[in-house]
């Protein structure tokens, strides 16, 4: 069984993992850190500290102990929950202003069943996509593809030139020594 890590992301302004920074759990530590760095949600110069390595159950308990509520430190959601496809903000009450904005954004947009005219237009737009083709058409497509491949081989060659191969071999010898 793979170990589960509880980790703390912090910077020079953070003092205590119970209130500052970001606390999370992961199985693949290297990949998770890469994701955090690319996300842009954290300061560029954040540091990492592994707080615990062990079982999933214990890791979730520790994470929940450090992040029991919404919006603690850099965390948006409480810790220790089973990951699911639900949104991170599920269950968070929305302000009346936010609700009004969502209603305004949906005004004038049809979300119900589509009319026969709309269905006909969609059908015309998708005509030929994903439908079986006749043997003659398939033969023509095959010939065109073969011509494209042949032109690419002529234009770019079908492998490395002999000089390039010799240069690669010489480089490998230098590195091996």
Domain range list for the chain:
4-66, 134-177
CB 33 within 8 A of CB 55: no
CB 23 within 8 A of CB 8: yes
Please write the tens of the pLDDT for every residue from 127-161: 777 777 889 999 999 999 888 877 776 666 666 67
At CA 40, angle to CA 38 and CA 44, rounded to 5?
90
Q: Which single residue is written with the structure tokens 């059908």?
A: 123
Instruction: Assign 85 a pLDDT band (cuts: 50, 70, 90).
Output: very low
Tell me what pLDDT residue 22 has.
94
Report in angstroms the alpha-carbon separations of 111 from 66, 106, 107, 114, 116: 42, 9, 10, 8, 15
Tell me what pLDDT residue 25 has.
93
Neighbours of 164 (CB within 10 A): 11
Tell me what pLDDT residue 74 has.
92
Tell me how far apart the alpha carbons of residues 94 and 91 are, in angstroms, rounded to a whole number. 9
Instruction: Assign 177 a pLDDT band (cuts: 50, 70, 90).
Output: very low
Tell me what pLDDT residue 89 has.
66
Q: Choose among 41, 39, 48: nearest CA to 76.
A: 41
The pTM of this model reads 0.47
Mean pLDDT score, 5-30: 91
Tell me how far apart the alpha carbons of residues 133 and 34 are, in angstroms, rounded to a whole number. 45
Tell me what pLDDT residue 123 has.
83
HEC sequence for 54-94? ECHHHHHHHHHHHCCCCCCCCCCCCCCCCCCCCCCCCCCCC
Q: Is the pLDDT of residue 115 over 80?
A: yes
Tell me what pLDDT residue 1 has.
66
CB 7 within 8 A of CB 49: yes
Please write the tens of the pLDDT for every residue from 41-82: 888 888 999 999 998 889 889 999 999 988 899 998 888 766
Tell me what pLDDT residue 144 has.
92
Mean pLDDT score, 101-121: 84
Q: Choose among 42, 38, 35: nearest CA to 74.
A: 42
């Amino acid at each position: 069984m793979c170990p589960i890590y509880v980790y703390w992301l912090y910077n020079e302004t953070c003092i205590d993992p119970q209130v500052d920074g970001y606390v999370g759990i992961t199985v693949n530590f290297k990949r998770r850190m890469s994701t955090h760095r690319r996300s842009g949600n954290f300061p560029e110069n954040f540091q990492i500290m592994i707080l615990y390595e062990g079982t999933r159950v214990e890791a979730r308990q520790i994470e929940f102990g450090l992040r029991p509520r919404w919006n603690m430190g850099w965390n948006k959601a409480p810790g220790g929950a089973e990951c699911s496809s639900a949104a991170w903000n599920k269950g968070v009450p929305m302000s009346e202003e936010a609700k009004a904005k969502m209603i305004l954004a949906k005004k004038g947009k049809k979300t119900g069943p589509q009319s026969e005219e709309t269905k006909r237009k969609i059908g015309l737009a998708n005509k030929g996509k994903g439908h079986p083709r006749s043997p003659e058409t398939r033969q023509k497509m095959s010939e065109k593809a073969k011509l494209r491949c042949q032109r690419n081989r002529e234009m770019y060659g079908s492998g490395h030139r002999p000089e390039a191969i010799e240069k690669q071999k010489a480089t490998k010898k230098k590195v091996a020594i």
